[in-house]
């Protein structure tokens, strides 16, 4: 088990390149189940969740080749297993995205229910309700969702919440269903759009991706795809916040302003200067941030996956900020660790009141989930002395070479055995 060691107080400067988006690559990897033709993915991030997803595909009988860094060639022509086991789904909830593709192509899927995780109970009722509406039979057997359908039929599916995973699962299933499917209250995240771009390149007939109504006309079969994963907007946002925390001047290549409008607004409201061009996004900050209030929301609202990172910035702000988490019920696990570094934060329900004007002090802190881990690394960048972030396996699930990228911007950060 490793730890990340950060010597605080260094100003970040320079350019860094974002990797491909983990949360786009995962559904894209599972979309390969929909076809018996080979699929090629490039700009795939080298992170633990991707390795887990590939391992799951191989357990189902797929062939996965890695001809070069960031490239996957996946062939699901020989898939003959339809069960995603508990130990894999437990470690990576996104494994549940195999259900729609397995059901659509083989009429059969038995996927362990993901169970909860550090940030919340993570139910799957919206996914299962969608498949029931499309004519599938769902049985709950020993913690598994056992789903079968001779032939999925197109249907009018209204999601109770704009769930990203449910939208992706149902859209993938609808690609091979009989007839027309209309998904209302669909998630609008860019990762959904990236998945649909690949599905359309396979021959799927889909309209409306990026809006809250997605229409799919089922087709008998799909081709393979050759697709480049979109840049990771959450990684881009994480670096922009890191730059602001150190009153630095950084540029993140591949960042897209249209993917991060709400973060850009928040950074500008807190006194940073953000610049955008065809190559990426930059941030320049030369003062203590101004206090702002933010509420997380489905895209295009402020992303819950940047909530912890923004809170780290607000611990330094000139005043009191309020951060309201509306997506997950337990996504403040980073608060107690930030408090150990001297942050002044009061929790009341799903709102954190962050009293700024403090000086953070380095300390050994514990990572609890992916975004809480990176929040603590960011706090270490701005803190006095040394911060050690333990249990960085959480971080390795979604950030590729974080310490190397931060060091290239001037941070004194290293990975050491814990």
CA distance 126 to 244: 38
The packing angle between helices 370-382 and 233-245, to 10°, is 20
- What residues contact 399, with CB distance under 8 A and at least 6 apart? 47, 235, 238, 370, 374
The smaller minimum CB distance to ligand EPZ, of residues 351 and 384, is found at: 351
CB of 57 to ligand EPZ, least distance (A): 15
CB of 284 to ligand EPZ, least distance (A): 27
Say if residues 339 and 332 touch (Cβ distance below 8 Å). no
CA distance 77 to 33: 8
Candidates 29, 103, 126, 406: give the one binding ligand EPZ (CB under 6 A). 126
**Count of positions on this chain that bind ligand EPZ (CB under 6 A):** 25
Both tokens of 46, joined, read 């080298």
The smaller minimum CB distance to ligand EPZ, of residues 363 and 379, is found at: 379
CB under 6 A: which stretch of 143-151, 163-171, 238-246, 281-289 binds ligand EPZ? 163-171
The smaller minimum CB distance to ligand EPZ, of residues 52 and 387, is found at: 52
The smaller minimum CB distance to ligand EPZ, of residues 9 and 116, is found at: 116
CA distance 216 to 124: 22
CA distance 1 to 396: 11
Distance of CA 232 to the CA centre of its chain: 8
Provide the terminal-to-terminal Cα distance of the chain, rounded to the nearest Å. Answer: 6
The smaller minimum CB distance to ligand EPZ, of residues 239 and 251, is found at: 239
Q: How distant, in Å, are the alpha carbons of 157, 199, 230, 336, 417 from that of 259? A: 26, 20, 10, 30, 36
Region for 184 from its dihedrals, namely left if φ exceeds 0, alpha if ψ lies in -120 to 50, beta otherwise: beta
CB of 187 to ligand EPZ, least distance (A): 6
Candidates 94, 206, 316, 354: give the one binding ligand EPZ (CB under 6 A). 94
300 preceded by a cis bond (ω within 30 of 0): yes
Q: Which helix (H) or strand (E) holds 264?
A: helix 261-269
The answer to whether 328 contacts ligand EPZ (rule: CB under 6 A) is: yes
The answer to whether 327 contacts ligand EPZ (rule: CB under 6 A) is: yes
The answer to whether 123 contacts ligand EPZ (rule: CB under 6 A) is: yes
Query: Given the DSSP bridges, would you call strands 293-295 and 273-277 parallel, antiparallel or unpaired?
Result: unpaired
CB under 6 A: which stretch of 67-75, 115-123, 218-226, 336-344 binds ligand EPZ? 115-123
Say if residues 165 and 189 touch (Cβ distance below 8 Å). no
The site map against ligand EPZ for 166-185 (x = CB under 6 A) is x-------------------
Q: Which residue is nearest to ligand EPZ (CB)?
A: 165
Candidates 3, 113, 127, 188: give the one binding ligand EPZ (CB under 6 A). 127
CB of 221 to ligand EPZ, least distance (A): 27
CA distance 145 to 108: 11
The answer to whether 300 contacts ligand EPZ (rule: CB under 6 A) is: no
Q: Is 117 an active-site residue?
A: yes
The answer to whether 296 contacts ligand EPZ (rule: CB under 6 A) is: no
The answer to whether 229 contacts ligand EPZ (rule: CB under 6 A) is: no
Say if residues 289 and 300 touch (Cβ distance below 8 Å). no
The answer to whether 19 contacts ligand EPZ (rule: CB under 6 A) is: no
The answer to whether 163 contacts ligand EPZ (rule: CB under 6 A) is: yes
Most distant CA pair in the chain, distance: 62
CB of 362 to ligand EPZ, least distance (A): 25
The answer to whether 259 contacts ligand EPZ (rule: CB under 6 A) is: no
- Which of 117, 175, 324, 375 is flagged as catalytic? 117
CA distance 377 to 372: 9
The answer to whether 165 contacts ligand EPZ (rule: CB under 6 A) is: yes
The site map against ligand EPZ for 189-228 (x = CB under 6 A) is --x-------------------------------------
Contacting positions for ligand EPZ (CB under 6 A)? 23, 26, 93-94, 120, 122-127, 161, 163-166, 187, 191, 304-305, 327-328, 370-371, 398
Residues labelled catalytic: 117
């Amino acid at each position: 088990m490793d730890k990340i060691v950060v010597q605080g107080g260094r100003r970040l400067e320079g350019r860094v390149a974002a990797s491909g988006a983990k949360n786009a690559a995962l559904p894209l990897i599972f979309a390969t189940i929909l076809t018996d033709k080979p699929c090629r993915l490039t700009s795939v991030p080298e992170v633990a969740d991707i390795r887990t997803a590939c391992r799951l595909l191989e357990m189902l009988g797929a062939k996965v080749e890695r001809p070069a860094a960031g490239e996957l060639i996946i062939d699901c022509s020989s898939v003959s297993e339809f069960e995603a086991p508990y130990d894999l789904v437990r470690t990576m909830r996104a494994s549940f995205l195999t259900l729609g593709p397995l059901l659509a192509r083989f009429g059969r899927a038995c996927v362990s229910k993901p169970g909860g995780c550090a940030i919340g109970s993570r139910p799957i009722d919206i996914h299962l309700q969608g498949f029931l509406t499309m004519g599938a039979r769902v049985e709950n057997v020993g913690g598994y969702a056992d789903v079968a359908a001779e032939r999925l039929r197109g249907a009018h599916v209204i999601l109770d919440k704009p769930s990203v995973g449910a939208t992706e699962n149902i859209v993938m299933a609808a690609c091979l269903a009989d007839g027309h499917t209309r998904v209302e209250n669909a998630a609008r995240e860019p990762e959904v759009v990236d998945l649909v771009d690949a599905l359309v390149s396979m021959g799927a007939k889909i309209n409306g991706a990026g809006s809250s109504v997605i229409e799919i006309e089922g087709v008998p079969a799909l081709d393979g795809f050759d697709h480049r994963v979109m840049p990771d907007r959450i990684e881009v946002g994480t670096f922009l916040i890191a730059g602001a925390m150190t009153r630095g001047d950084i540029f993140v290549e591949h960042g897209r302003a249209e993917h991060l409008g709400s973060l850009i607004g928040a950074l500008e409201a807190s006194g940073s200067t953000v610049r955008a061009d065809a190559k990426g996004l930059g941030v320049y900050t030369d003062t203590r941030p101004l206090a702002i209030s933010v509420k997380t929301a489905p895209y295009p609202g402020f992303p819950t996956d940047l909530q912890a990172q923004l809170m780290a910035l607000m611990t330094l702000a000139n005043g009191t900020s309020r951060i309201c988490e509306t997506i997950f019920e337990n996504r403040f696990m980073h608060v107690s660790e930030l408090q150990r570094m001297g942050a002044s934060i009061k929790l009341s329900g799903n709102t954190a009141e962050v009293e700024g004007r403090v000086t953070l002090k380095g300390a050994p802190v514990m990572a609890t989930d992916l975004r809480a881990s990176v929040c603590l690394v960011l706090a270490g960048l701005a803190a006095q002395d040394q911060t050690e972030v333990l249990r960085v396996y959480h971080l390795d699930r979604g950030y590729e070479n974080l310490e190397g990228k931060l060091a290239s911007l001037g941070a004194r950060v290293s990975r050491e055995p814990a």
